[in-house]
Structure 1
Amino acid sequence: MAEYYDPQTYPKAWNYLQTGTIIDQYMIERELAHGGFSSVYLARQMADQFQVALKEYLPRKLAHRTWNNVVVANSPEAQGMFRRGRALFFEEAKVLAALKHPNIVEVVNFFRANDTVYMVMTYDYGITLDKLIAKKMLAITEEFILAVFDSLLAGLSYIHERHFIHLDIKPGNILVRPGNNSLLLDFGAIQRISTTRINKLDTVLTPGYSPVEQYDVNARMGVWTDIYAIGASMRTCLEGKAPPLAPERSQKDTLIPAVKVFSRKYPDYLLKAIDWAMELKPENRPQSIEQLKLALVKP
């Protein structure tokens, strides 16, 4: 019989793997990031001391860690959802392990342990775009935007060519490395391009970056869905904040076109490309990465 625990009775520190914890062949060094469904740790491969990023599936609304690091559902009612999410996480790892491109995060291993699933990724040095913007760590120039997004579009094009869509592009998932070369992170929402909607109940929605069709379970998603998120991420570079929610825009669009707001600071071709990518109707946006890349060619 399954045993359930009240997570409120356990120390909050147990929510995270502690420094020195050994999972399979990896030793935890420190936490790098955490979200509602998972945490990412800097870890070291014990055989050769090679540093990696270790991602653990732990949806805190559904499950928690016990004293011996086993992950258990919070209740019998949460058990089914926890298991379904765990299976999807494992499938995500299998998909990513087969995708190899210098501008998308590389999965080098994945395994089951502690009644959950772990994904091992290469560890890259850099700062996520959202932190660069929020902390004003450097000037957001035309050259910076072109460098970051040109490299990002290279990775995204590779994904689309293999009939996948990312579905969670946002500044927090764009790692900016030395030379403004970007790396696309977090493929937890990835889906195959299909004529029908897949995983209707598991769609990830990120306010400001998810387009209208992502909110509609009956709408078809495609390359154009990722393109909206790219446009919204570029707009955030200009404005310093996320754009309004797409459903709000569809009711009453208060977002003034970038060509009107930023014409004194950025060139016309760049602003037009951002506005095009952020068109509300999917059919009015670029229909391929190649179309967007051509729009971003400096005259």
Structure 2
Amino acid sequence: MDRTYEVTLQADLPGNATEVDPLQPRVPAPGMVLRDRFVLQRMLGAGGMSKVFLALDRELEDSNPYVAIKVLGDTFKDHPQALTSLRREVNNSRQLNHPNIVGVYHFDRDGDIVFMVMEFMRGEPLDEFLRKYPEGLPWDRAWHIIRSCGEALAYMHDHGVVHSDFKPGNVFLTENNEVKVLDLGIARTLDEAMATRNTTRFDGDTPLALTPQYASCEMFEGQSPDRRDDIYALGCVAYLLLTGRHPFDGARAIDARSNGLEAERPPGLRQGQWQVLLQSLAHRRRERVANAREFLAGFGPATSSRNATPWIAVSALLFATGIAAASWQAYQDSPEQRFIDELLVQYRDTGNPSVDGKQVALWLEQGAQNITMANTAFASDEFDRGGYFLHGSTSSAKWVYDLVLRQAPDEASKRAAAGGLLQLASAYEEPAQRLDELQRSREALDFACRGVAINAHNPVLREVLPSLLQKVSNPGAIAGCKALPEGMLP
């Protein structure tokens, strides 16, 4: 099913508008049909600018024909900057294809009703969920949400977008335990200048309704948007998740700065975690954590591998791949060991002496976690989601293992990363085979090519690759196949 629609605004298309009596404006309500397509079912929620309805999309013939419709509220629907905000939300969201960002499909107008079509999700907003936990969440549950939000923000920032209104009300928890960041209506591209901000007033061409408790000092001062504005908000949300309280008891950042307010250390945090959280809450932009990935790397859970020597990490990796001590000699003479040795030779002269062992261990842990999450996604036939964890971002397993090979100053860490790449290549076996069974040959070939590009000797992938190459026309145009070893494409 393709839920990607053209972004249009009916007001921009003369002659297409539905005839409406201007003296009797329509009020969105259950039963109303927009554009002869979207049947409003019931209201899901309402905010200052809009109402959200569950709607049936008549043109969707699959088992899930429901979408969410955001309708611009009566107070704002005739305000040109409000329309700019809604149009911006669609444009920003459509370019951000990430499992932790809500899908936004369409922007349109039916008479005097301006609306947006979004992914329908079952669950509840984070702010409502947290009302049930006034003392905060256990670490594992809090970290799942923090990490998901951080990954979403990191992905946005990679694409040049600052959210500018990240808060619990703009995070949604689905029934499937997924975390979705939404409401990019006031998000800004990094190079877009900003006018003076106001908490409730639209000003010039800059529609802003920032949330005081989660806005940085620079946002109140009208400075240009910056990733570190979102980092401040992420720190506030992380603190709230762990304690049930805002770090400054709800005070605005500028008031907290003026009054010298300081956040109290949440119980159970390691010193390193607390320092990262404190940095994210700094009142001066230059003192904050630089980006979301740095925040996640420093704030993540402690594991034994962080304090282990690199060789212990290697040993743990070998046992995780099923290589027992009794098989060690056989492993030394195996194709797998030759694969690792070849990588060590290739990256022998690379390394950064300033990178310490804890940072390397974090990267190795990130890679292993991503492979685990990818395998979980593949088990449910969520191939795009699984691919994202393996290769689809700058925190993917492929990215972090390559980073360790380039940056780690010691051979043992590089060996661990090479072992991780061996696992990574094997992780492509299941989706390649499953997609082939589903007759989705192009996708299957993409996964097979990516795995073979990492480990050209993987027997499973080498077995399926020839038949997939025969089934697909122009395999050289497929992203994963562009990195294949020379001579493997027909």
Which range, TM-score by smaller chain? 0.7 to 0.9
In structure 1, C-alpha distance between the alignment counterparts of 2:27 and 2:102, rounded to whole Å:
22
Structure 1 residue matching 2:152: 3-state secondary structure: helix
Question: Which residue of structure 2 aligns with residue 32 of structure 1?
Answer: 44
In structure 2, C-alpha distance between the alignment counterparts of 1:271 and 1:124, rounded to whole Å:
34
Cα RMSD for the two superposed structures:
2.6
Alpha-carbon contact 2:157-2:227 (below 8 Å) kept:
yes
Shift of the alpha carbon at 1:195? 7.0
Question: Which residue of structure 1 aligns with residue 112 of structure 2?
Answer: 115
**Superposed CA offset, 1:225-247 (max 9, x none):** 00000111112223324432111
Q: Which one of the candidate residues 270, 275, 278 is aligned to 2:281?
A: 278
Question: Which residue of structure 2 aligns with residue 214 of structure 1?
Answer: 219
Segments of 5+ residues of structure 1 without an aligned counterpart are 64-72, 74-81
1:147 paired to 2:154: no
Greater shift, 195-204 or 140-149, is seen at 195-204
Shift of the alpha carbon at 1:139? 6.5
In structure 1, C-alpha distance between the alignment counterparts of 2:262 and 2:22, rounded to whole Å:
48
Alpha-carbon contact 2:136-2:242 (below 8 Å) kept:
no
Residue pairs, 1:1-299, within 5 angstroms: 17-24=28-35, 25-47=37-59, 48=61, 50-60=65-75, 62=76, 73=78, 82-136=79-133, 140-178=137-175, 180-194=177-191, 196-197=193-194, 200=197, 201=203, 202-217=207-222, 219-242=223-246, 243-257=250-264, 259=265, 262-263=266-267, 265-299=268-302
Structure 2 residue matching 1:208: 3-state secondary structure: helix
Shift of the alpha carbon at 1:115? 2.6
**Superposed CA offset, 1:160-184 (max 9, x none):** 1110100111111111234643100
1:272 and 1:180, CA in 2 relative to 1: closer, same or farther beyond 3 A? Answer: farther
Alpha-carbon contact 1:110-1:119 (below 8 Å) kept:
yes
Where is the strand percentage greater, Structure 1 or Structure 2? 1
1:4 and 1:18, CA in 2 relative to 1: closer, same or farther beyond 3 A? Answer: closer
Alpha-carbon contact 1:90-1:117 (below 8 Å) kept:
no
Greater shift, 198-207 or 220-229, is seen at 198-207
Segments of 5+ residues of structure 2 without an aligned counterpart are 1-20, 198-202, 303-490
Alpha-carbon contact 1:214-1:221 (below 8 Å) kept:
yes
**Superposed CA offset, 1:104-149 (max 9, x none):** 0111222121234211111122221111111239970111111111
1:31 and 1:297, CA in 2 relative to 1: closer, same or farther beyond 3 A? Answer: same
1:297 and 1:135, CA in 2 relative to 1: closer, same or farther beyond 3 A? Answer: closer
Shift of the alpha carbon at 1:4? 8.0
Shift of the alpha carbon at 1:194? 2.1
Where is the helix percentage greater, Structure 1 or Structure 2? 2
Structure 2 residue matching 1:273: 3-state secondary structure: helix
Structure 1 residue matching 2:214: 3-state secondary structure: coil
Q: How many residues are paired up?
A: 267
Higher relative contact order (CA 8 A, sep 6+): 1
Structure 1 residue matching 2:114: 3-state secondary structure: strand
In structure 1, C-alpha distance between the alignment counterparts of 2:110 and 2:91, rounded to whole Å:
16
Alpha-carbon contact 2:162-2:188 (below 8 Å) kept:
yes
In structure 2, C-alpha distance between the alignment counterparts of 1:15 and 1:191, rounded to whole Å:
32
In structure 2, C-alpha distance between the alignment counterparts of 1:160 and 1:28, rounded to whole Å:
34
In structure 1, C-alpha distance between the alignment counterparts of 2:86 and 2:136, rounded to whole Å:
37
Alpha-carbon contact 1:227-1:277 (below 8 Å) kept:
yes
Aligned amino acid, residue 297 of structure 2: L
1:175 and 1:15, CA in 2 relative to 1: closer, same or farther beyond 3 A? Answer: farther
TM-score (normalizing by structure 2):
0.50
Alpha-carbon contact 1:250-1:280 (below 8 Å) kept:
yes
Aligned amino acid, residue 89 of structure 1: L
Structure 1 residue matching 2:275: 3-state secondary structure: helix
In structure 2, C-alpha distance between the alignment counterparts of 1:239 and 1:222, rounded to whole Å:
27
Alpha-carbon contact 1:130-1:172 (below 8 Å) kept:
yes
Structure 2 residue matching 1:96: 3-state secondary structure: helix
Greater shift, 273-282 or 163-172, is seen at 273-282
TM-score (normalizing by structure 1):
0.80
In structure 2, C-alpha distance between the alignment counterparts of 1:173 and 1:15, rounded to whole Å:
28
